[in-house]
Amino acid sequence: MLTSRPILDRMRRLATWRDPGEALIMDKFVIRGGNPLVGTVRISGAKNSALPAMAAALLTDEPVVLENIPEVRDIQTMRRLLVEMGAEVELEYDRAHKRTTIHCCGPIRPEAPYELVKTMRASTLVLGPLVARTGRARVSLPGGCAIGARPIDLHIKALEHLGASITQDHGYVEARAERLHGGHIVWDRITVTGTEELMMAAALAEGETVMENCAREPEVGDLAALLTTMGARIEGAGTATIRIHGVPRLTGARHHIIPDRISAGTFVVAGAMTGGDLTVAHCDPVHLGALLQKLAEAGVVVQVAGDSVRVTGDGHLLAADVNTEEYPGFPTDMQAQFMALATQADGSSVITENIFENRFMHALEMVRMGANIKIEGRRAVVRGKTPLSGAAVQASDLRASASLVLAALVADGETIIDRVYHIDRGYEHIEEKLRSVGAQVMRIGEMLPRRAALA
Ligand code: EPZ
C-alpha cells in the first residue's frame, strides 16, 4: 500500500491539475512497479489531430464543432490562443461529450504571442490559416525544443511559394498576402505540421496547389476530412501527393477526431512489458501497423479485433531493432516507449532515431534505474534483460515522460517521476487509466505561487 487513505485524498486534492494560467503545479508521479496490467483502457482522441483541426476553424466565420477532443493541456493552450485572437471557444468535457465548438465570426487579431507559442510549438499551425483568411499573420517563432532544433523554415518557404510576403523580426514571423495563390510545392523533407498548415492555407488560395513528398500520417488525412466537410476540395491526403483546388470561402462543420495512435501504442507497450491481459479499446489498429509488427518480432502476443488491441503474455520479451521513420514507418513518438520495453528484452536492441536529432534524453534517466543503454549519436544500443530499480527521475518531454512511466511499472520498488506536466500535455488522465487496470501509481502535487507573485 503506497500511503494511508486520508493523506492520499489530501494529496489528490492538492494535485488536481488547473489551467496553466493559474498556479504552477510541479506534479510528480509515484509508481510502485511489479503489477501485471489486467482489464480495458479506453483511448481518447488524437492530440496531433485535434490541434490542427482547431486551427482550421480560423478558416471560416461559421462554427466548427469537433467531437472526441482529448482532455489534455495542449488543447487548453490552443483554446487560449484562439480566444486571444478573438474566437469564441467552448470546451465541453463530460460523460457524454468531449467536444469543442469554435466560432471565429468577429474581427480576428491575427497574432500568436511568444508566451503561448513557447509552451506549445504546434501553435505555429495558425500561421497558414491566418494569412489565408485575414491576409496577415504575426506568429512567434517557436524556438528550440528538448528533442531537436525543429525549425519551421520549410513552412515559411512553402507559404512564400503561395505568394505570401514574409519577414522575420524580434522573434516573430510576419506574413502578408492579398490572397494566396496556388502553386507547386515539393517538400525538401517530410513534415507533418508543414503538410497540414499548407493544406489549410491552400484551401482558400486562388487556383490549384500540388504538394509532393507530403506527410502521410493519419492526422493529415483526418484534417483533410474536416476541411472537405468545410467545403474544401482536396485529393490525395494520406498519400505523398496532395492536390488542393482553392475555394473562395469555407463553411462550418462537425467532425469526429480520430483516436490517438500514440496513446494507444503507449498502453499496448505497457501491457507487453508488465505481462497480464490488457485490452486497448477505441483505437484504430490500422494506425498501429508498424508498432504491432515490431512487437510481434519481440515475441509479444497481440490480438486485433475491431477497434481494440489485446495484449497478453508473461512479459517475456526478445530484442528487436527499431528505425524511426515517417508514417507508415515506426513512429518517432513511440521510440522512447519502445526503448523502455527493450530494457526488459533478452539480447541487444539497436534503436536508431532518424527524425529528431536529440531524442534520447529518457535513456539517461532509465540508466539511473539500472538500464544498460549506450548512446552513439542517433543510435542507442539497449542490452537486456536488466532488472530496473525504482529511483527519482525527471521527464524532459512528452514521450520521454511516458517511457519513464513504463519503466517504473516494471521496476522494483517506487519510482518518483518529476515534471509530469509534460505528460499532461498529451495523455488524458494516464494515472487513472493505469490504476483502473491494476497499476500502483499516484500523482502528488507541490503548489508553487504564480511567478508574478514571486517578483
Ligand atoms: C509532428 O511534429 C508531431 N507534432 C510530433 O509529435 C511528431 O514527433 C512529428 O510530427 C514527427 O512525426 C504534431 O503533430 C503537433 P515534422 P512536427 O515537421 O510537424 C524537420 C508529440 O510527441 N523540419 O514532421 O513539428 C524537423 O526538425 C510530438 O506529440 C525542418 O527542418 O514534425 C524534424 O527533424 C513531438 N524544417 C523533421 O523535419 C521544417 O520547417 C520532421 O518534423 C519542418 C520540419
In tens, the pLDDT along 80-90 reads 999 999 999 99
* Atom 4 of ligand 1, nearest CA residue: 48
Helix 153-161 and helix 192-203: axis angle, to 10°?
20
Tell me which of 152, 159, 189 to substitute to probe ligand 1's pocket, judged by most ligand atoms within 8 Å of the beta carbon: 189
Cis peptide before 385 (omega within 30 of 0): yes
Å from CA of 121 to ligand 1 middle: 10
Tell me which of 191, 216, 398 to substitute to probe ligand 1's pocket, judged by most ligand atoms within 8 Å of the beta carbon: 191
Please tell me the predicted confidence (pLDDT) of residue 10. 47
Mean pLDDT of 383-391: 96
* Cβ–Cβ < 8 Å for 316, 295: no
Q: What radius of gyration, in Å, describes the C-alpha atoms of the chain?
A: 22
Place of cell 491575427: 110
Q: Give the confidence band of 278 by pLDDT, cuts at 50, 70, 90.
A: very high
Give the strand pairing for 88-93 and 98-103.
antiparallel
Q: Of all residues in the chain, what percent carry a pLDDT higher than 90?
A: 87
pLDDT higher for 314 or 346?
346
Residue 319: pLDDT over 50: yes
Q: How large is the greatest C-alpha to C-alpha distance in the chain, in angstroms?
A: 66
> CB within 8 A of 240, min separation 6: which ones?
212, 213, 214, 216
- Ligand 1 atom with the smallest distance to the CA of 122 is 15
Cell numbers representing residue 195 in the block: 503538410
Mean pLDDT of 19-36: 76
* Atom 9 of ligand 1, nearest CA residue: 192
Pocket around ligand 1 at a 6 A CB cut-off:
48, 51, 122, 148-155, 189, 191-194, 215, 332-333, 355-356, 398-399, 426
Mean pLDDT of 318-329: 98
Q: Where are the beta strands (DSSP E) in 270-400?
A: 276-281, 301-305, 308-313, 317-318, 322-323, 345-352, 372-376, 379-384, 392-394
Å from CA of 144 to ligand 1 middle: 12
DSSP 15: H
Å from CA of 261 to ligand 1 middle: 16
- Phi, psi of 16, rounded to the nearest 5 degrees: -60, 130
* 92: enclosing H helix or E strand: strand 88-93
Cell numbers representing residue 235 in the block: 485529393
| Burial of 153 (C-beta count, 10 Å sphere; 0-12/13-18/19+) | exposed
pLDDT higher for 26 or 263?
263
Residue 143: pLDDT over 90: no
* Atom 41 of ligand 1, nearest CA residue: 191
Please tell me the predicted confidence (pLDDT) of residue 25. 54
Q: How far apart are CA 230 and CA 237, in angstroms?
A: 15
**DSSP three-state, residue 430:** helix
* Atom 14 of ligand 1, nearest CA residue: 48
- Ligand 1 atom with the smallest distance to the CA of 399 is 22
Place of cell 516494471: 410
Place of cell 488524437: 46
Please tell me the predicted confidence (pLDDT) of residue 22. 47
**DSSP three-state, residue 29:** strand
Mean pLDDT of 189-197: 98
| 375: β partners | 380
Å from CA of 433 to ligand 1 middle: 27
* Listed residue (363, 322, 340) closest to 270, CA to CA: 340
Give the strand pairing for 447-448 and 24-25.
antiparallel
Tell me which of 193, 330, 356, 361 to substitute to probe ligand 1's pocket, judged by most ligand atoms within 8 Å of the beta carbon: 193
Please tell me the predicted confidence (pLDDT) of residue 94. 77
* Atom 25 of ligand 1, nearest CA residue: 193
* Atom 8 of ligand 1, nearest CA residue: 333
Q: How far apart are CA 265 and CA 335, in angstroms?
A: 11
Mean pLDDT of 321-346: 98
399: left (phi over 0), alpha (psi -120 to 50) or beta: alpha
* Cβ–Cβ < 8 Å for 445, 18: no
Please tell me the predicted confidence (pLDDT) of residue 445. 78
Please tell me the predicted confidence (pLDDT) of residue 145. 83
Q: Give the confidence band of 313 by pLDDT, cuts at 50, 70, 90.
A: confident
Mean pLDDT of 216-224: 98
Place of cell 508514417: 327
* Atom 35 of ligand 1, nearest CA residue: 333
| Burial of 13 (C-beta count, 10 Å sphere; 0-12/13-18/19+) | exposed
- Ligand 1 atom with the smallest distance to the CA of 155 is 40
* Listed residue (221, 242, 350, 241) closest to 286, CA to CA: 221
Instruction: Choose, from 104, 105, 145, 283, the residue flagged as catalytic.
Output: 145
CA 446 → CA 1, 24, 421, 441, 443, distances in Å?
Answer: 22, 9, 12, 17, 10
Cell numbers representing residue 53 in the block: 483541426
Please tell me the predicted confidence (pLDDT) of residue 452. 46
Mean pLDDT of 110-133: 95
Q: What angle do CA 129, 132, 135 make, to 5 degrees?
A: 120
Reply yes or no on whether 105 is catalytic. no
Å from CA of 6 to ligand 1 middle: 44
Å from CA of 336 to ligand 1 middle: 16
* Listed residue (384, 394, 397, 311) closest to 350, CA to CA: 384
Residue 169: pLDDT over 50: yes
Measured from the Cβ of residue 228, the count of other Cβ atoms closer than 10 Å reads: 16
| 378: β partners | none
Å from CA of 274 to ligand 1 middle: 30
Q: Give the confidence band of 301 by pLDDT, cuts at 50, 70, 90.
A: very high
Mean pLDDT of the chain: 92
Mean pLDDT of 84-100: 89
Q: Give the confidence band of 19 by pLDDT, cuts at 50, 70, 90.
A: very low
